[in-house]
Amino acid sequence: MNPESHCPLLPYNTFGIAARARALVRLRGLADLEALWADPSLREADKFILGGGSNIVLTGDVKPLVLKVEILGRRLVAETDRHWIVEAGAGESWHDFVAWTLEQGWPGLENMALIPGTVGAAPVQNIGAYGVEMQDRFHSLQAFDLRTGQTFTLEAAQCGFGYRDSVFKHVPPAPGGYGLAGCAVITHVQMALPKAWRPELGYLDLERKVAETGVQSPTPQQIFDWVCAIRRAKLPDPAVLGNAGSFFKNPTVTPEQCADIIARDPKVVHYPLHDGRIKLAAGWLIDACGWRGKTVGHAGVYEKQALVLVNRGNAQNPCTGGEVMTLARAIQTSVYERFGIRLEMEPVVV
Ligand code: EPU
């Protein structure tokens, strides 16, 4: 197995940052992982696992060996009384997989249409949108352990799913005893799609679509089309304007902290959670600090959604990961100074 050297990563990160991998191997199936394991120099090397590159900020050339996951394939694995169990290779495009399941007549993923990235990256950050998260439809995944050379299966309960979080984001040993960041390559993901399908229309933007169209009982395909339209209206298409989706997580606070902020900023957008805490809209906090539409160097804050940082550079004047991080830190500082809240970054900084 011969790694490609000095491989440009510009096409492989949706922020569109120019950086190179010192060495990169493409993984198209289990045989490639076994070949990697069989080569002592590759087996011992530090590694970085790259999916669709839609949740990373590259701050320089990548020194660890880059494993680019390109495992394809989609199939119905099993049908039970209650579910269709559908599998996709980790290198499949998430959105294409969602569209395909709907074409086959297996609904359930429509609220997560148009999320950039690959199927294999989806469980890593427990992707979610418009009221549905990966963990709500997840069945299991197969992965290759880079420490032992063995494949293994994880069920939902073993994945440590949380808000934009899973065991794959934690360096071993994580609190609770386990962490798999950098140690395992997800090869296949299986989703359990419910036969007793019900529309998930609780998110405000979808409630508005119901009101606008008068369609009270939309089909899965209609929800898919609505979600695509909502996303296209407020989120930049990475093919046109580089970005990594939401740049910060929505923070949670205690009711007392929230009351304190409301006393000063009555319009703060907040939602009660089941555990009694309150989620604040990070986009609103950033917007309230005046960042929406601002540009610093070649990195900017998207004018229609302040939670999204964008690449304002071009071929002659490229945006660097350093500029993105400078802007991100400036935003964190002003949100902290005004609201006393520390925003946590969502993408992985490499
Ligand atoms: N808002 C503002 N100003 C802004 C941006 C937002 O006032 O500049 C307010 C909006 O008016 C709205 C609220 O903030 O009332 C929430 O905004 P939005 O509905 O756009 O959702 P979000 O909380 O900003 C989250 C996810 C998105 C996901 C949407 C829809 C996170 C970090 N982000 O965004 O996920 O698509 O909800 O479910 O949880 C991603 O993770 O990359 C991502 C795009």
Query: Whose Cα sits closest to atom 13 in ligand 1?
Result: 281
Contact in structure between 187 and 168 (CB atoms under 8 Å): no
- Residue 172 has a pLDDT of 83
Ligand 1 neighbour 226 (Cβ under 6 A): no
Could you identify the atom of ligand 1 that is nearest to the CA of residue 281?
A: 14
- Residue 175 has a pLDDT of 61
Distance 308 CA to ligand 1 centre (A): 9
- Residue 177 has a pLDDT of 64
Distance 305 CA to ligand 1 centre (A): 7
Distance 196 CA to ligand 1 centre (A): 29
Instruction: Say what angle helices 94-104 and 220-234 make with each other, to 10 degrees.
Output: 160
Ligand 1 neighbour 311 (Cβ under 6 A): no
Answer yes or no: 346 catalytic: yes
Ligand 1 neighbour 245 (Cβ under 6 A): yes
Whole-angstrom distance, CA of residue 59 vs CA of residue 17: 8
Ligand 1 neighbour 129 (Cβ under 6 A): yes
3-state secondary structure of 245: strand
- Residue 176 has a pLDDT of 63
Sign of CA dihedral 122, 44, 177, 154: positive
Residue found under tokens 């669709």: 52
Tens digits of pLDDT across the chain (350 residues):
899 999 999 999 999 999 999 999 999 999 999 999 999 999 999 999 999 999 999 999 999 999 999 999 999 999 999 999 999 999 999 999 999 999 999 999 999 999 999 999 999 999 999 999 999 999 999 999 999 999 999 999 999 999 999 999 998 876 666 799 999 999 999 999 999 999 999 999 999 999 999 999 999 999 999 999 999 999 999 999 999 999 999 999 999 999 999 999 999 999 999 899 999 999 999 999 999 999 999 999 999 999 999 999 998 898 999 999 999 999 999 999 999 999 999 999 99
- Identified catalytic residue from 4, 26, 200, 346: 346
> Whole-angstrom distance between the N-terminal and C-terminal Cα of the chain?
25
Whole-angstrom distance, CA of residue 230 vs CA of residue 87: 27
The sheet carrying 278-280 orders its strands as 252-253, 278-280, 270-272
3-state secondary structure of 159: coil
Q: Domains (ranges, CATH) in the chain?
A: 4-69 (3.30.43.10), 74-194 (3.30.465.10), 243-349 (3.90.78.10)
Contact in structure between 90 and 71 (CB atoms under 8 Å): yes
- Identified catalytic residue from 137, 166, 246, 292: 246
Ligand 1 neighbour 292 (Cβ under 6 A): yes
Contact in structure between 57 and 247 (CB atoms under 8 Å): no
Contact in structure between 122 and 53 (CB atoms under 8 Å): no
- Residue 316 has a pLDDT of 87
Answer yes or no: 82 catalytic: no
Contact in structure between 57 and 349 (CB atoms under 8 Å): yes
pTM of the model: 0.95
Answer yes or no: 200 catalytic: no
**Structural Rg of the chain based on CA atoms:** 21
Ligand 1 neighbour 88 (Cβ under 6 A): no
Ligand 1 neighbour 307 (Cβ under 6 A): yes
